[in-house]
Structure 1
Amino acid sequence: MGRKKGPHWHGHRARLRERFRRAGEVALADYELLELLLTYAIPRRDVKPQAKVLLERFGSLAGVLAAPEDELQQVEGIGPSASLLIRLVKELGAASLAGELKGRDLVNSPERVVAFARMKFGAEREEHFAVLYLNAKNELIDVEVMQRGTVDRAVVYPRQVVEGALRRGASGVILLHNHPSGHPDPSPEDRVLTGQVAMALRPLEIRLLDHLIVAQGGHFSFREKGLL
């Protein structure tokens, strides 16, 4: 008698892993990357259907990574282990990019700040507001996620930014927030808040170095546009 064959997806998983080892992410479609990830949380099932449903439901890999765990688990076959693994991948990426900010002049390395902000907040469906506190050399002291809001607003008060900067002995700050709408252009409220924060920091000789808005459609820098 011949050897009993295993499920068809055993060989498929092995081929996915080999393609990834040989050529990295460029060798796989987005659903295949997600499928490969899910194999580590769901070892005894064909997970291609789940990968495709996740991408269809959340729109992109970034959307899947940003999705809340409870919403991920609404997809049939995605349980606590798989949803936690997806969240972990996003947080590892954001932590890695945050680590790359340290020891650098962030005013002259805006692309690194944008990359961190897009990974951390770019595909979120609620507004998040964060502050980067910098020393006199424009190097990172700390990152504070100050507020999480609704689909179109995160309420932040200038005094919160001032207090955070004083506690850390910061010489400068960069404001970050996301636009879940997908469009990074600042709203009138964004412009007003930027002016209020700059005005509140000025008497303390703390510089507002930039206000970055990230979205799936790109980013907007107040500094690059000459608005600071």
Structure 2
Amino acid sequence: MSIRDWPASDRPREKLLMRGAAILTDAELLAIFLRTGLPGRSAVDLARELLTRFGSLRALLAASQREFCSAHGLGQAKYAQLQAVLEMGRRHLDEDLRERDSLSDPSAVRRYLQARLRGLDHEVFAALFLDSQHRLIAYEAITHGTIDGASIYPREVVKAALRLGAAAIIFAHNHPSGIAEPSAADRILTDRLREALRLVDVRVLDHFVVGEGRPVSFAERGWL
């Protein structure tokens, strides 16, 4: 049966308009994105099959272009559309941080960093450069790949902070393994960066490690 023949209260799009997006299942949300199904299968049926194949909605959203396009019912156009949707979400979070004190709402910082870093298959060490009111000036990825003390130069971070006129910084990096527990090397590197930035009166407010679940905060653990 086509979704058009379903009662209006059961159709994903109508449910969203009447009751809000939060009420929908992952399959229903994905069905709205897909718009159409395949012969003999509704968009909801196809969405359920895709969720089973990829394991979860987040895994599907984080799939590489090759993995995504190899699934029956998807393709280059859908991949491009999905990437545009994800980027709009990231930019929305970016604008949100630019309008508020980052320290007043650490949950907003966590959401932003998760959108940027979670699910990547390689390590990225990044920084949120903040003004004197702790509002976002810029997000910059400092290095990609395996992170260690030799790959991150404090002087380059200092130069970036001065170039942007930053008064404070929040560092972040991801663990592709999904385990967000900071290492001893993470703490040593953070201390080196904090000492270098202290010389130019730039405060290090926090360092988040992003993995599965809630990102770990150095500040909350009393390490800053």
How would you bin the TM-score normalised by the shorter chain?
Answer: 0.7 to 0.9
Quote the Cα distance in structure 1 between the aligned partners of 2:116 and 2:165: 25
CA RMSD of aligned residues (A): 2.4
Quote the Cα distance in structure 1 between the aligned partners of 2:32 and 2:4: 12
Aligned ranges 1:1-228 → 2 under 5 Å: 8-11=2-5, 15-39=11-35, 46-149=42-145, 153=147, 155-228=151-224
Say whether the 8 Å CA contact 1:122–1:215 is kept in structure 2: yes
In terms of mean alpha carbon deviation, does 194-203 or 46-55 score higher? 46-55
**TM-score normalized with structure 1 length:** 0.84
**How far is 1:223 from its partner?**
0.9
- CA gap 1:72/1:157 in 2 versus in 1, 3 angstroms: farther
Mark the runs of 5 or more structure 1 residues left unpaired by the alignment: 1-6
Mark the runs of 5 or more structure 2 residues left unpaired by the alignment: none
Partner SS state of residue 207, structure 2: strand
Runs of 4+ deviating beyond 6 Å? none
Say whether the 8 Å CA contact 1:158–1:193 is kept in structure 2: no
| Residue type of the alignment partner of 1:143 | Y
In terms of mean alpha carbon deviation, does 179-188 or 95-104 score higher? 179-188
**TM-score normalized with structure 2 length:** 0.85
Say whether the 8 Å CA contact 2:179–2:212 is kept in structure 1: yes
Q: Percent identity?
A: 37
Quote the Cα distance in structure 2 between the aligned partners of 1:13 and 1:38: 20
- CA gap 1:82/1:138 in 2 versus in 1, 3 angstroms: same
| Residue type of the alignment partner of 2:32 | L
| Residue type of the alignment partner of 1:37 | F
Partner SS state of residue 210, structure 2: strand
| Residue type of the alignment partner of 1:74 | S
Say whether the 8 Å CA contact 1:133–1:174 is kept in structure 2: yes
- CA gap 1:8/1:136 in 2 versus in 1, 3 angstroms: closer
Quote the Cα distance in structure 2 between the aligned partners of 1:11 and 1:47: 13
| Residue type of the alignment partner of 2:168 | G
**How far is 1:180 from its partner?**
2.3
Residue by residue over 1:24-49, the C-alpha shift from the partner in whole angstroms, topping out at 9 and shown as x without a partner, is 2333211221121111xx57764445
Residue by residue over 1:188-222, the C-alpha shift from the partner in whole angstroms, topping out at 9 and shown as x without a partner, is 22112211211221211111111011222211111
In terms of mean alpha carbon deviation, does 46-55 or 74-83 score higher? 46-55
Quote the Cα distance in structure 2 between the aligned partners of 1:90 and 1:211: 24
Partner SS state of residue 208, structure 1: strand
Quote the Cα distance in structure 1 between the aligned partners of 2:70 and 2:125: 28
- CA gap 1:190/1:56 in 2 versus in 1, 3 angstroms: farther
**How far is 1:17 from its partner?**
1.1
